[in-house]
């Protein structure tokens, strides 16, 4: 950590003012909720909580950076991803709970979950590379080998999630298996190696405090950010949904795309902030970690919440559209995983993910959607068969020694 150039009184004042400003951005919404202040302007209903989420993303990124001084980066990013994805969990758990009482909510629960997962990869990963290029002019992200932990969990979860559309339901068996995969990921993250991160700005100054004070700031950052995100997520999503309904957009589309766009915004913002500062591994690693916990813990929790709401152990039986959506989501996950299995992510990979994601939005016919799914699977298999490097990396994920692919 180079502190000499950034330890001037002017630099410190700038950092503390930045911390204060982002805290106030969060506080304005906390005040609105605490004092039950009514907002009558439709635009402000979405803008104020959205602004709070933006500020919380900054605060959350500082907490995650400081946490890496005491814990492995993988575990710090896992915790960051869990907090950032709280809004998505809140929305989907609500739909799953209501599905236990009203069957029409069943489709909304899977729509929201699949939309969030595909949005994370189809838009989030390319945007991170764009932000990384904008900040560094580098056209490729190279991940550290420590991300093997996320890759292992993602391989297992993705392969298992192909089983769900085959059997056409989400059950408590899925909950147990996917929770086990998440536990495997959590255990690996906790036992990863601790490396001192490159700090700059506010976190660089806070890191110079004695450990007890630094850790207090870390906890406060997570608490402020987590509370703000939790309280702002639903109003932000509702504000966007209200605008969508005014425009006459189909409710299923609103639940699948507009609501996840709002609920995924904290992790998107955090990832972009990391990328623009040149922290490519932390940036893409945040979204990969989010994908793992959504593809394991989030999916697994749906049948549990559904059963608790229904008052008995039951399965969420899916209709043909839900089966199609989960199969397409699993196929995209498989393809994305093969793209980055060699620990690199470049322009052509990002463009391919973005184009395939955007173009599929224009087709609602089930046949075309299945075509897209098989295109994802076919391209993934072609890349795996045609690249010995990718095959070696896939095999190397489950070896105790270092990954056998050369960067």
Query: Residue 98 has what pLDDT?
Result: 84
**H or E segment to which residue 169 belongs:** strand 169-170
User: Exposed e or buried b for every residue in 192-205, given b needs 16+ CB within 10 A?
Assistant: beeeebebbbbbbb
In this predicted structure, the answer to whether residue 313 has a pLDDT above a threshold of 80 is yes
Residues whose CB falls within 8 Å of the CB of residue 193, separated by 6 or more in sequence, listed in order = 72, 146
CB 259 within 8 A of CB 112: yes
Is 70 exceeded by the pLDDT of residue 304?
A: yes
Stated pTM of the model: 0.80
For 34-48, what is each residue's pLDDT tens digit? 888 888 877 788 788
Residue 385 has pLDDT above 90, yes or no: yes
Selected residue with higher pLDDT from 98 and 104: 98
Q: Are 356 and 401 in contact (CB under 8 A)?
A: no
Alpha carbon dihedral 8, 11, 12, 16, in 10-degree steps, equals: 170
Is there a contact between 281 and 145 (Cβ–Cβ < 8 Å)? no
Q: What mean pLDDT comes out for the span 205-214?
A: 88
Phi-psi sector, 143: left (phi>0), alpha (psi -120 to 50), beta? beta
pLDDT of residue 352: 96
3-class state of residue 400 by DSSP: coil
For the stretch 113-151, pLDDT in tens is 888 899 999 999 999 999 999 988 899 999 988 888 899
Task: Convert the pLDDT of each residue in 160-198 to its tens digit.
Answer: 999 999 999 999 999 999 999 999 998 988 877 766 666
4 has pLDDT over 70: no
9-396, what's its fold? Answer: A middle domain of Talin 1 (1.20.1420)
């Amino acid at each position: 950590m180079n502190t000499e150039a950034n330890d001037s009184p002017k630099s410190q004042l700038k950092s503390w003012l930045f911390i204060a400003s982002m805290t106030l951005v969060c506080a304005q919404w906390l005040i609105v909720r605490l004092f039950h202040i009514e907002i009558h302007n439709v635009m402000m209903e979405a803008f104020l909580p959205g602004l709070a989420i933006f500020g919380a993303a900054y605060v959350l990124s500082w907490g995650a950076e400081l946490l890496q001084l005491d814990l492995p980066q993988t575990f710090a990013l896992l915790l960051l991803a869990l907090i950032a994805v709280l809004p998505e969990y809140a929305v989907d758990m609500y739909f799953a709970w209501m599905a236990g009482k009203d069957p029409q909510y069943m489709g909304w629960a899977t729509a929201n979950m699949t939309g969030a997962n595909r949005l994370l990869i189809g838009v989030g990963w390319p945007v991170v590379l764009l932000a990384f290029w904008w900040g560094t002019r580098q056209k490729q992200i190279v991940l550290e080998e420590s991300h093997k932990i996320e890759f292992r969990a993602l391989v297992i979860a993705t392969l298992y999630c192909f089983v769900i559309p085959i059997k056409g339901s989400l059950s408590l068996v899925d909950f147990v298996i996917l929770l086990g995969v998440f536990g495997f990921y959590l255990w690996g993250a906790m036992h990863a190696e601790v490396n001192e991160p490159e700090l700059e700005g506010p976190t660089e100054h806070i890191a110079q405090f004695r450990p007890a004070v630094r850790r207090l700031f870390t906890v406060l950052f997570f608490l402020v950010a987590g509370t703000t995100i939790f309280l702002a997520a639903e109003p932000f999503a509702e504000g966007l949904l209200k605008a969508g309904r005014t425009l006459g957009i189909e409710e299923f589309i609103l639940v699948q795309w507009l609501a996840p766009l709002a609920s995924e915004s904290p992790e998107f913002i955090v990832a972009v902030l990391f990328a623009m500062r040149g922290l490519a591994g932390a940036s893409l690693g945040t979204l990969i970690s989010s994908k793992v916990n959504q593809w394991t813990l989030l999916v697994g929790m749906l049948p549990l919440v559904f059963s608790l709401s229904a008052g008995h152990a039951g399965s969420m039986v899916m209709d043909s559209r839900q089966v199609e959506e989960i199969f397409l989501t699993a196929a995209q996950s498989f393809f994305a995983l093969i793209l980055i299995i060699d620990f690199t992510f470049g322009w052509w990979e990002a463009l391919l993910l973005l184009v395939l994601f955007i173009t599929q939005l224009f087709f609602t016919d089930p046949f075309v959607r299945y075509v897209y799914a098989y295109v994802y699977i076919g391209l993934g298999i072609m890349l795996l068969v045609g690249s010995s490097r990718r095959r070696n990396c896939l095999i190397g994920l489950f070896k105790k020694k270092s990954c056998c692919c050369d960067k």
